[in-house]
Structure 1
Amino acid sequence: MRTFFTATLVFLASNCAFAADATAPVRQVMDITVKNWSGEQEEWKYIFDEDMLNSLFSKKFVETYHQAAKKPAYDTENNEPGDPFGYDVVTSSQDGCPIQELAIAPAQPKDGGVNDVKVSFKLWSCMDENDMKNMVNEVHFDVIEENGKPVIDDIHRVGDDGTDSLVVEMDGIIKGE
């Protein structure tokens, strides 16, 4: 009985520790996103730079991204292909104000070892129109554990039409949709 109790405590502690750490890659993505939208960042830092991809995102996400990146949304100034999106995937926009009222909620476990990390923020606080100014963006990050560390497996933006999936969007780009 004592062995069972000890094993149960170890299992619960390891799951709780992962849930607490599940916000770490999300915080890194949001730190970059906040800096990008601050107006003070000289050069936009891309969350899908190769070093970021390999350290913050799951292997499945990285593979899907690399396939989607073969069909860039635009060419850059140096004639290199750009990313497959053409907009900031976290804020779902090309324009905005400095991010205000950022909140990152603790991870909530879902089925299959996925933790849901909810992020909310105001992107339009510098606008004159009250509806825009007070609008709160909501984004959910699916975080899983790979090789003993938390990584982002998908990003879901919440909008008027429901919740979407960045992985599904990348699959559509790959298929030419």
Structure 2
Amino acid sequence: MRKIAAAALLLAIPAIAAAASPEDPVRRMMDVATARLDEQSSGGDYFDTPRLGRDYSGRFVEAYTAASKYPAYDDGSSNPFGYDVIANGQDGCPLEDVTYREGQSDGAKKTVVVRFKLWQCIPKDEQGYDSISEVRFDVVTENGQPVIDDIHRMRDGKWDSLVAEMAEIVKFGEQNASTPQ
């Protein structure tokens, strides 16, 4: 009986080790951010179809799909953002000193905090060179997998919500669509 129990435990260890972490979808998104801000790589899109289906919650995908009806630019893309949602601006340097830590948990929602240096390519004596940026990801579990439910950046001394921003994009887009030109 002990041999059977020991064998069962040995079989369970790989399954436990392979269990998905709340950091997994966040790391994949940060890999895209790192590649996008590296001048030698296009980096891809945070919200391409495979990523939307794998790394984001149903709520997030619904908000993004609605907002993508109102692209930021008339360039044929459906991107509703006129800036990089991780760098929180239109430019930046390759990311340096990227760290991950678990933040506060609220029941089923876990927060993953990512900190990085965004301005290491500017002269050392310029303001912001050694500043640390922080992005917070709300991660929930859907269909047994961790997925990003919201992304928060510091703006004007407050944490914002990308999901709320997408709702504002839709609201503004709908108002402009119904206003005679």
Could you tell me which runs of 5 or more consecutive residues in structure 2 were left unpaired when the two chains were aligned.
1-15, 174-181
The worse-fitting range, judged by mean Cα deviation, of 107-116 and 146-155 is 107-116
Counterpart check, 1:153 vs 2:149: yes
2:46 matched residue in structure 1 = 47
Compute the TM-score of the two structures, normalised by the length of structure 1.
0.82
What's the CA shift for 1:130?
Answer: 3.9
Q: Which has the larger radius of gyration?
A: 2
Query: 1:109, CA displacement in angstroms?
Result: 4.6
- Letter paired with 1:117: V
In 1, Cα distance between the equivalents of 2:104 and 2:144? 17
Paired residues for 1:8-157 under 5 Å: 21-41=21-41, 43-76=42-75, 80-105=76-101, 107-128=102-123, 129-157=125-153
Does the aligned pair in 1 maintain the 2:111–2:137 contact within 8 Å? yes
RMSD, aligned α-carbons: 2.1
Structure 1 counterpart of 2:4: none
Flag structure 1 segments of 5+ consecutive residues without an equivalent. Answer: 1-15
Sort the Cα spacing of 1:68 and 1:37 in 2 relative to 1 into closer, same or farther, 3 A: same
TM-score of the two chains, using structure 2 as the length reference: 0.80
Q: Which amino acid aligns with 1:153?
A: D
1:44 CA drift (Å): 3.9
Identity score, percent: 43
CA contact (8 A) 2:26 2:148 kept: yes
Aligned length: 157
